Amino acid sequence: MSLTEPWVGLALAAAVPLALAVDRLWGEPPSAVHPVVWMGRYLALTGHRLAPREGEGTDPEGRRDLPRLLGGALLWCGGAAGCAGLAGGLQAWAAQQPVWLAALVLGLALKPLLAWRLLGDEVQAVENALAESLPAGRARLAWLVSRDVSQLGPHQVRESAIESLAENLNDSVVAPLFWFAVAGLPGAALYRFANTADAMWGYPGWRGGPGRRHYWAWAGKWAARADDVLSWVPARLTALLLALPARLPWRSLRTEAGKTPSPNSGWPMAAMALRLGVRLGKPGAYVLNPQAPSPGPLHTQRALAWAGRAVAWATALSGGALALVAAWPWSVGGGA
């Protein structure tokens, strides 16, 4: 059945608020049945065999490695096809069921592909730990970000947490909902695989602990570019959801977003920095809204509140778009 068929579209529309309700009430499912965990296992198993390991053969830095680029692209495509195919099969089965059962199945399947409660809880946990001590705040932040946190001061710990909130607001909520609205459950699953692959493969250099470092500049290039493409529209939509209530000027938002090396993550981070009226930065890389003061505890609470409102708007927009598409054939038929 097509996504434009009324009952399927209504089931998809109902699945969106249902998924967010399940997320709020129960959070993440067990790791054994979590699809993103299984995506990560596939990527870890194949990627560590693909990317060159430190001490094996010649030094991979500074030379082109097209075979590993091709290998990374093929493994990415295989994993993406598997995720989208399984999601498509489940959606096709759900489309044959009563609308209430289809909505329930699709909502439960969509839930693991987004993670708003977990994100909010982790950011709040950093703030709570920072209130205890700087080492506690650093330790908790290490759960949330991949950067080195050992030398960060208290303001930098808080900046990193708020930055991660803004960036992952897109990656973990808005973008999966956007692709669910565009292409149903296969779209959301494909995006989540792409984003997970970027997190695991997309680092443009050495990554891993001593004796376990792998070089990802070529092996992960396809994964990084695929995530850039799939996140382009959702990242700017996330920025708009944060910026529009405060009527932030688009020119200022674009200027600040352009300071980060990523073509996408800078947009929601810049919107959050400008709306909070604080500076956010990554030491040695960039500073957003540099003339503003560093954030305090109250700014973390405001950031969480505004991110929550953005989630509510994203839920309404994606569910509303699906409901509108579902109603469209009826409106056309009624006017004939």
pLDDT in tens, the chain (336 residues): 444 466 788 999 999 999 999 999 999 999 999 999 999 999 999 998 898 887 665 567 767 889 999 999 999 999 999 999 999 999 999 999 999 999 999 999 999 999 999 999 999 999 999 999 999 999 999 999 988 899 999 999 999 999 999 999 999 999 999 999 999 999 999 999 999 999 999 988 888 776 678 888 899 999 999 999 999 999 999 999 999 999 999 999 999 999 999 999 999 999 999 999 999 999 889 999 999 999 999 999 999 999 999 999 999 999 999 998 887 755 444 443
Rounded Cα–Cα distance for residues 214 and 207 (Å): 6
Q: Where are the alpha helices (DSSP H) in the chain?
A: 6-26, 35-50, 66-94, 99-110, 116-132, 134-141, 154-169, 175-201, 221-243, 250-257, 266-276, 297-335
Do the Cβ atoms of 274 and 256 come closer than 8 Å? yes
- pTM confidence score: 0.93
User: What is residue 247's predicted lDDT score, i.e. its pLDDT?
Assistant: 94
Do the Cβ atoms of 101 and 211 come closer than 8 Å? no
Rounded Cα–Cα distance for residues 227 and 225 (Å): 5
Contacts of 299 (CB under 8 A, 6+ apart): 158, 162, 276, 278
Do the Cβ atoms of 174 and 155 come closer than 8 Å? no
Do the Cβ atoms of 279 and 269 come closer than 8 Å? no
Nearest CA among 64, 288, 62 for reference residue 159: 288
Rounded Cα–Cα distance for residues 316 and 200 (Å): 31
